[in-house]
Amino acid sequence: MIKEGKYTIERFAEEQGLARQSALNKLSRLKRQGYVSVDGGGRQKRIYTISKLPRRKTNGFYDTVNRYSPEKLQPKFDHYVHGRYTVEHAIIDGIKIGDVRTRDATKHLFRHVSSWKKLFDLAKKEGLLKEVLNLYSQAKRTVRVRWIPRRYLK
């Protein structure tokens, strides 16, 4: 029986009564199944965190914002997305969340918009067209952003 907690490879091997390589094999199998997450590495010791329930990796708003923005956000909730989640989706979700820190971090996403049409179609669908234009004009004052095509400024 594997107890929940944080382990180094040596401690895990000792508690399970396994050789080091067998412990690594067991941890990697558990990691593939989603029961183990790994921190550290490089010059640091690897720390294996074992949980009772499998954890999926989040792939939503906070991951996208923290990838592109210098202002990192602590996730308020786990955001899982099925399918393709783009910068355009993240801008709309940032406006929906609406607090000040989130809006400031969302401004930086305008540098990475690949499809203005997709962004404005999503904004029209959600009824957030004015908010997107407002956020863009604020971002333009503080961050270096791409030019928006004129047809969307109407």
Q: What's residue 42's pLDDT?
A: 87
Instruction: Answer yes or no: is 40 within a domain.
Output: yes
> Which helix or strand (DSSP H or E) is residue 101 part of?
helix 100-107
Question: What's the total number of domains in the chain?
Answer: 2
Q: Is residue 108 assigned to a domain?
A: yes
Same domain, 45 and 83: no
Do 82 and 134 lie in one domain? The reply is yes
Per-residue pLDDT, averaged over 129-139, amounts to 95
Regarding whether 65 and 97 lie in a shared domain, the answer is yes
Query: Whole-prediction pTM value?
Result: 0.73
- Identify the CA nearest to 119 among candidates 101, 139, 100, 99: 139
Residues 53, 78: contact at Cβ < 8 Å? Answer: no
What mean pLDDT is reported for the chain?
A: 93
**Do 100 and 131 lie in a common domain?**
yes
Q: Which two tokens stand for residue 9?
A: 């490879």
Q: 80 and 41 in one domain?
A: no
Residue 137's pLDDT band (boundaries 50, 70, 90)? very high
Residue 20 sits in the same domain as residue 87:
no
Q: Given a cut of 80, is residue 154 above it in pLDDT?
A: no
74 in the same domain as 46: no
Please state the rounded mean pLDDT for residues 86-104: 95
Nearest to 70 by CA among 40, 98, 107: 107
Tell me which residue range forms the domain holding 110. 61-152
User: What integer is the mean pLDDT of 118-143?
Assistant: 95
Position 54 confidence tier, pLDDT thresholds 50, 70, 90 = confident
